[in-house]
Amino acid sequence: METKDIKDMEQAEELVQETTDNQETAETAQECSQDNAVDSSCGTSDDEAQEEMAQEELDEEHEMIGKDKFFGKKARQRIEELETQLAKEKDDYIRLMAEFENYRRRSAAERLDLISTANEKLILEILPVIDDCERALKVLGESTDSAAAKEGTEMIYNKMLNVLKAKGLKKIEVADKPFDVEFMEAVAQFPAPEESKKGMVFDIIQNGYMLGEKVIRYAKVVVAQ
């Protein structure tokens, strides 16, 4: 083979190689261009996705705020209802306790009154015996014949009176006092011996008695007029 032919073949191979290199360079450039386009497109998609995610988060936040406001309002309403109910229950409880306290005091007062007046009927039946003892003592005091009878009667009288006093019996003192309808009963009137005696008790016909704070027998008196 001639030298010229060899050179021609080498030039042809170089031309083919250069063409191949140029084609590969063009393909590489095209791929890079496509990759850049894809990268650019992907970047745009990422931005949109981020915007959509941000919008969704914002919408969710707004929804939660709305729910908080809604349930917060309902909670406040429920709290107000419970406070109103609690105030009513408290008022009812205070009223009930006040009524119970009044009932307890009333029952205690009635019980004490019942205890203090339990023997009222029996004491009223005994009082005439006390009156007889007082009359006997008056008669015996005017007599000088029987000192022993006077002493015995006085002893019985004092014992009976002490027992009745222990049960709450009190004698109404009316001697030389103004007439008082709260404790006395006027059975007669007598001319007053002097002006200062008018309206005063002149004489006692029958003693009056109280059991505790209750008058069980009014004093029967003669009033000076």
Backbone phi, then psi, for 162, in 5-degree steps? -65, -40
The pLDDT value recorded for residue 63 is 66
Token pair, residue 118, equals 């339990």
The pLDDT value recorded for residue 212 is 82
Give, in degrees to the nearest 5, the angle at Cα 174 between 202 and 155.
110
Contact 204, 219 (CB under 8 A): yes
Token pair, residue 208, equals 């009056």
Average pLDDT (64-70) is 58
> What is the b/e burial string over 125-139, where b = at least 16 CB atoms within 10 angstroms of the residue's CB?
ebbeebeebeebbee
The pLDDT value recorded for residue 2 is 47
Average pLDDT (157-182) is 91
Contact 160, 201 (CB under 8 A): no
Token pair, residue 108, equals 């205690």
The pLDDT value recorded for residue 67 is 56
84 vs 95: CA distance, rounded Å: 16
The pLDDT value recorded for residue 222 is 93
Residue 140 has pLDDT above 70, yes or no: yes
Residue 206 has pLDDT above 70, yes or no: yes
Q: Would you list the domain boundaries of the chain?
A: 48-116, 118-167, 169-225
The CATH class given to the 169-225 domain equals mainly beta
Top-confidence residue, 71 or 144: 144
Top-confidence residue, 126 or 69: 126
Residue 122: which H helix or E strand, with range? helix 120-142
Nearest to 183 by CA among 212, 208, 153, 165: 208
Top-confidence residue, 35 or 200: 200
The pLDDT value recorded for residue 215 is 92
Name residue, tokens 């705020």: 65
Residue 71 has pLDDT above 60, yes or no: no
**Least reliable range by pLDDT among 35-49, 161-175, 211-225:** 35-49
Residue 33 has pLDDT above 60, yes or no: no
Note the pLDDT tens digit of each residue in 100-128: 999 999 988 888 777 766 788 889 999 99
